[in-house]
Amino acid sequence: MEENTVKGAVFDIRRFSTHDGGGIRTTVFLKGCPLSCIWCHNPEGISKSVRPLFFPNKCIGCQICCRLSENGGIFMTEKGIRLDITKAEDWNRIIEECPSGAIRWDSTRKTVEEVVEEVLKDAPFYKYGGGVTLSGGEPLLQPEFVISFLKEMKKRNIHTAIETALHVPTETLEAALPWLDLIYADFKIFDPEAHKRYIGVTNERIKTHIRLLLESKNRDHVIIRTPMIPGLTTEEDNIAEISRFISEIYNEVSYEILNYNPLGEAKYPLVDKTYCFKDNPKPYSRQDMERFAEIAGSNGVNHIILES
């Protein structure tokens, strides 16, 4: 199979992003993640499976979908239309017949060539320091697609970045490194048991891969990230232990402290999940974020990025 015909499951392509690397960027979101963070900002990207989604705010109440449903996959309740994706339905037909686009697939299988074509529409903006960022989900769960895509970007001298949680095979990470200009690596919780409780896996592999990155020739192109999740990642001990760990490996490490983003909550009903917070917290104030940065700084980190 030719590299540019390899397919990947893409659930979004976001243009004109300014938070996923330098300059104006195009961010490609790939489906599937080995983690199950209870606060995940992109819950639609966790499962590897492609599934239909229902968007109530787009529904015009025509009930065409209900009439096309033959096995109970779509039904009416007092609160409106509901989907049961465990039922066998002709979902392709239902999605095609929905006049308002209220029902659609959560992702699309695209070839490398197709995604390259989409990305190149934004190429004029990259000359000002932008580029392409792969996100997810966990993009490195689709290594054949990712590496083929990155090679195509480097052929065109386009800056490449990736957002990864590093819970992937070592050989996959090593294969991708030569084609990446910037790596954002998540390190959310230091304590292994708490990591497993809130994220679904222990963090031994993640720690090993952070060490690999920060001891490699790419270390100045690595940014370690911790999202500030109230009561889960924001404890002083957690920030301090992460900071000591990464700065002891490389004392010039870049560490980004990400503010809490409350917008993910709205996506959970779409994928039949319940959000971790009953009352969705607000983002932290600048003063709070500076306090988190002080903890990191007093525990060895010299290069701190505050993302609000």
Give mean pLDDT in consecutive 10-residue pieces for the chain, a chain of 308 residues: 81 88 93 96 92 93 95 91 94 96 94 96 89 96 97 96 98 98 98 98 98 97 98 98 98 97 92 94 97 98 90
| Separation in Å, CA 171 to CA 46, 141, 168, 177, 290 | 22, 12, 9, 10, 37
Alpha helix ranges (H) inside the chain: 64-68, 91-97, 112-120, 123-126, 143-155, 170-176, 192-199, 204-214, 236-249, 286-297
Token pair recorded at residue 242: 């992460």
Q: What's residue 2's pLDDT?
A: 61
DSSP SS3 for 77: strand
For residue 131, the SS3 value is: strand
Q: Which two tokens stand for residue 128?
A: 């000002």
C-alpha 260/C-alpha 282 separation (Å) is 7
The predicted pLDDT at position 16 comes to 87
Contacts of 217 (CB under 8 A, 6+ apart): none
Q: Residue 134, Cβ neighbours under 10 Å: how many?
A: 28
User: Distance between CA 150 and CA 250 in Å, rounded?
Assistant: 27
Residue 1: per-residue pLDDT: 47
Indicate whether this model's pTM tops 0.75: yes
Burial of 17 (0-12, 13-18, 19+ CB in 10 A): middle
As given in the structure block, the two tokens for residue 7 are 């397919």
HSE (CB half, 13 Å, CA atoms) of 226?
A: 30
Whether the ω angle into residue 72 lies within 30 degrees of 0, i.e. cis, is no
Which residue ranges form the domains of the chain, and what is each CATH number? 3-48+107-307 (3.20.20.70), 52-105 (3.30.70.20)
> Residue 224: how many CB atoms within 10 A of its CB?
27
Specify the residue for token string 């959000």: 275
> 3-state class of 246 per DSSP?
helix
